[in-house]
Chains A and B, each alone.
Chain A
Amino acid sequence: AQTVTQSQPEMSVQEAETVTLSCTYDTSESDYYLFWYKQPPSRQMILVIRQEAYKQQNATENRFSVNFQKAAKSFSLKISDSQLGDAAMYFCAYRSEGGGSNYKLTFGKGTLLTVNP
């Protein structure tokens, strides 16, 4: 079974600075997807970024980028130019590539990000 570990329960960053959230995972599969979800105080889970394991290029979405290290099974999220609205709980998640019906997401415990003005 796959596991996802987020070793930082809480992080803080100054507004306009850069912060990196860590995520490691364990799997025996070669094809899979990795995601970062954001959960602000409103509780809505919002997809931030997605990475396909077969792609060597790291995904980027505006101020959000990932550092995907497949051999090390590491998937960190970098937030550049942090904004007050980035304050939220961030979840790392894993999903198998497919085959059969296994499309469930496996989540880490989350990292609570605080952005200081």
Chain B
Amino acid sequence: EPEVTQTPSHQVTQMGQEVILRCVPISNHLYFYWYRQILGQKVEFLVSFYNNEISEKSEIFDDQFSVERPDGSNFTLKIRSTKLEDSAMYFCASSQDRDYEQYFGPGTRLTVT
């Protein structure tokens, strides 16, 4: 069964560094999402992406964040200058169409020191 994959599974970085989290959505899916979960808190929506542009973003998704689909398979989340409070689990998800279920990847645990 096709699944969403994410790399790396765990990323440790120093405050102020740039990180890129990578996702490979399911191949025939058209809508892509990033969510994050700070330890002990809710899973929160960050951004949705369709047709090579952002379709919706939350207030969390400020200028430090960007998303890109650099080729036909990858979907990336970049954090330009990481802060301690960016430490969280980041989940990528994809859906075939906007009314379809979102399928999640296993997440990338980001630790900012």
Interface of A toward B, CB cutoff 8 Å: 35, 37, 42-47, 50, 91, 93, 98, 101-110
B100–chain A nearest beta-carbon distance, Å: 9
Complex-state Cα separation, A81 to B105, whole angstroms:
28
**Number of A-B contacts defined by CB within 8 Å:** 58
State A50–B101 Cα separation when bound (angstroms): 8
Starting from the known contacts A46-B104, A103-B48, A107-B43, 11 additional A-B residue pairs (CB-CB under 8 Å) come to A43-B106, A45-B104, A47-B101, A91-B43, A98-B98, A102-B56, A103-B31, A103-B56, A106-B45, A110-B42, A110-B43
In the complex, what's the smallest C-beta–C-beta distance from A103 to chain B, in angstroms?
A: 5
Interface string of B82-113 (1 = CB under 8 A from A): 00000001010101001101111111000000
Count residues of chain B with CB under 8 A from any CB of chain A.
Answer: 27
User: Measured between alpha carbons, how far is A47 from B102 in the docked complex, in Å?
Assistant: 8
Most chain B beta carbons < 10 A, residue from A47, A91, A101: A101
A89 smallest CB distance to B (angstroms): 10
Report how far A103 CA is from B106 CA in the complex, Å. Answer: 20
- CB-defined contacts of A43 to chain B, threshold 8 Å: 89, 106-107
- Return B48 CB to nearest CB of chain A, in Å: 6
Question: Which single member of B33, B50, B91, B106 contacts A104 (CB below 8 Å)?
Answer: B33
Instruction: Tell whether B35 is near chain A: CB-to-CB under 8 Å.
Output: yes
Give A91's nearest chain B residue, CB to CB: B43
In the assembled complex, which residues on chain A have CB atoms less than 8 Å from the CB atom of B98?
98, 101, 103
On chain B, the residues within 8 Å of A98 by CB distance are: 98-99
- Docked Cα-Cα span, A45 to B103, in Å, equals 8
